[in-house]
Chains A and B, each alone.
Chain A
Amino acid sequence: MIEQIIFIVISLFTLMMGWIVVSNNNLFHAALALMASFLGVAGLYVMLDAGFLAMAQLLVYIGAISILIIFAIMLTRRMMQTEESPFNSQPGLAGITAVSVFAVIAFIFWQMREFWPLGAGEGAMPPADKSIILGSVAKLGEYFVSPDAFVLPFEVASVMLLAALIGSIWVAWPKTEDES
């Protein structure tokens, strides 16, 4: 019961902050709401026994990506204080699309409800040994370096980060003096 209340509070917080992100006129406030929404998602990870991912969420999304977004807003500042509508010419169509996508996903969930690996009980979270949950981080580390699992994606991720950094510096760095 108490878990359900915590879940509902966290998810409502996440979704409300997400709504502020997409609807707020002030882009800076939207970025702050984005950070709050990321925090709510980290709370959901905690409820799913994924403490490591919650930590990674804090570190990467809240600590790094949000800062990146806020710096980008500062750099393109003149658009921030606009009095115009934050939406383009098709907010109605976009709303219809988003609502229908949600309806389709919910419908698929309803159709698939008997095929999911729901485990014991009436759809409750299947109990797992504490050693499994606590050992999942070390297991994850083994996966990253094991040739049978994810070593190739792991190395490709580093190459992708290298390419992203070089590409971003190449694109964002002013080519001439007067551009800076």
Chain B
Amino acid sequence: MISDWRFIAFFVVLAPLFPALPIGINLLLGPRKPNYIKQQIYECGVETVGDTWVQFKVQYYIYALIFVIFDIEAVFLFPIAAAYGQVGLFAVIEIALFIIILTAALAYAWGRGVLEWV
């Protein structure tokens, strides 16, 4: 039912307003006398040594990969959890099989040494 989502629409309008309002008020009211020190990026961590766009390690990709796999698992298990009252023991065995197969994937990644951060 589309009308149930009007609160989401309300938040879609409201949420950008929250950061926009302080920034806008700041632009209107704040005095601006910039100099070199003030324009440093002190709020965003230390300045990078060398190029900011360094080559990323492949570990990041593998972590994202494992996250994707278990994300899909959550999507599959959510409706089954919603129907848990109606499904019998057979379903529990199937879910266990599903999770065991996906755990095998995690075990492979672990055994391969992928999860170790170097």
CB distance from B117 to the nearest CB of A (A): 13
Q: Residue B80 contacts which of A63, A81, A144 (CB distance < 8 angstroms)?
A: A144
Closest to B114 in A: A169
Q: Residue B56 contacts which of A75, A130, A133, A146 (CB distance < 8 angstroms)?
A: A75
A180 touching B74 in the complex, CB below 8 Å, given contacts A64-B68, A141-B79: no
Segment touching A, from B13-21, B27-35, B38-46, B100-108? B100-108
Interface of A is mostly: helix
Chain B CB within 8 A of A68 CB: yes
Interface of B is mostly: helix
Closest to A70 in B: B64
Asked whether, in the complex, the Cβ of A74 is within 8 Å of the Cβ of B86, the reply is no
CB distance from A88 to the nearest CB of B (A): 25
Q: Residue B98 contacts which of A133, A158, A169, A173 (CB distance < 8 angstroms)?
A: A158
Asked whether, in the complex, the Cβ of B67 is within 8 Å of the Cβ of A60, the reply is no
Closest to A80 in B: B53
Q: How many interface residues does chain B have, given as a range?
A: 35 or more
Alpha-carbon distance A65/B81, docked complex (angstroms): 24
Asked whether, in the complex, the Cβ of A141 is within 8 Å of the Cβ of B87, the reply is yes
Segment touching B, from A46-54, A102-110, A111-119? A46-54
User: Which residues between 77 and 123 of chain A lie within 8 Å of chain B, taking CB atoms?
Assistant: 77, 80-81
Asked whether, in the complex, the Cβ of A162 is within 8 Å of the Cβ of B102, the reply is yes
**What residues on B are CB-neighbors of A168 within 8 Å?**
62, 65
Chain A CB within 8 A of B75 CB: yes
Alpha-carbon distance A77/B52, docked complex (angstroms): 12
CB distance from B4 to the nearest CB of A (A): 8
A151-180 to B contact mask, C-beta < 8 Å, 1/0:
100110111011011101100111000001
A173 touching B62 in the complex, CB below 8 Å, given contacts A46-B2, A64-B71, A141-B79: yes
Asked whether, in the complex, the Cβ of B71 is within 8 Å of the Cβ of A165, the reply is no
**What residues on A are CB-neighbors of B71 within 8 Å?**
59-60, 63-64
Q: Which of B80, B90, B108 has the most CB of A within 10 A?
A: B80
CB distance from A43 to the nearest CB of B (A): 9
Extra inter-chain contacts (18) besides given A47-B2, A71-B64, A142-B87, CB under 8 Å: A46-B8, A49-B1, A59-B75, A64-B71, A80-B53, A130-B1, A138-B79, A142-B83, A144-B76, A145-B80, A145-B90, A146-B91, A166-B108, A168-B65, A169-B109, A169-B114, A173-B62, A174-B58
Q: Give residues in B with beta carbon < 8 Å to A.
A: 1-2, 5, 8, 53, 55-58, 60-62, 64-69, 71-76, 78-84, 86-87, 90-91, 94-95, 97-98, 101-102, 104-105, 108-109, 112, 114
